[in-house]
Structure 1
Amino acid sequence: MVIPGIAEFARGGVPAPPTTDDGNQWVDGFCWLYCGQQWTRVLWIGPASVAGAQADMYACEPYIRELQERVWHSILLKDEPSRPVLPASRAPEPESGARRVGRHRRYDWQLSRR
């Protein structure tokens, strides 16, 4: 894929999204991103997978611009959860040799042999 605006990206900017007939492999087809365009210039954006099946997914220029904006927005914000996810807490392990305290008594094998 040709990335227009790579020089801008090298200077710290965001690269421009692909545009129709910019050197990428645009084809005539259907946009998969619900814009309603039945037959337009589209660019392959990756595979779509559902229930064990996979198909090529294509998008029109306006939707590719929107996707590009969302992806870079996510990358630049690092798209992290607002709160850190803490590991599930576990009850502390009793120290070895420590006497257990509880309602149940340990069975005394000495008493059962009498």
Structure 2
Amino acid sequence: MNPPPALPDLIHADTRPVPPRLGDGSAWALGRCWLWCGNKHTWVLWLGPASSAGHHAPFYVCEPCLDRLHHTIIDYGEAMLDAPTDAAGVRVSLYIGADDPPRPGPITYRRGRHRRPRTQLGRLWHRFLTGREAPPAV
């Protein structure tokens, strides 16, 4: 039988190195990250409440995962600026709701220069934006 995981050592928290962004007024705490780093125990930032299937929890991420999330959000914003348009001139969304109507007519792709995406998800969006990957049908 494995021993239970140790709780964060808060006794010596004032002697531990603090994250560079600690002085920005954000809610940093010692604990486990919820994202891509493998749940390491470090300084984590509370991003807000998370919910799934009626369950709620505080959502914490470490600084490297926060940077990755930040770059993904930037990639999404820039992708939507370059989004192709449908026959009605409406920008094609990167996400389609279950109740969304079918897109009218062909999709028109922009011929402008696209900034190189920062993240893997941004690279997938870029393939869609440039027409190298067909958008999913509704």
TM-score (norm 1): 0.50
Per-residue CA deviations over 1:24-75 (Å, capped at 9, x if unaligned) read 2211011000412432000011222111111111000000000000101111
Give the SS at the match of 1:21: helix
Gaps in structure 1 of 5+ consecutive residues: 1-17, 89-114
Q: What is the aligned partner in structure 1 of residue 134 from structure 2?
A: none
Q: What is the aligned partner in structure 2 of residue 22 from structure 1?
A: 23
Q: What is the aligned partner in structure 2 of residue 32 from structure 1?
A: 34
Structure with bigger helix share is 2
On the 8 A contact 2:36/2:65 being kept in 1, the answer is no
Report the CA distance between 1:19 and its aligned residue.
4.5
Question: Quick one: which of 57, 72, 75 aligns to 1:73?
Answer: 75
The AA in structure 1 aligned to 2:22 is D
Map 1:1-114 onto structure 2 (within 5 A).
19-23=20-24, 24-78=26-80, 84=86, 87=101
Determine which structure has more spread, i.e. the larger CA radius of gyration: 1
How many corresponding residue pairs? 71
Q: Which runs of 4+ in 1 moved over 3 A?
A: 79-88
Alignment RMSD: 2.8
Gaps in structure 2 of 5+ consecutive residues: 1-18, 87-91, 93-99, 103-138
**Identity rate, percent:** 37
Q: 2: CA distance between counterparts of 1:36 and 1:79?
A: 33
The AA in structure 1 aligned to 2:28 is W
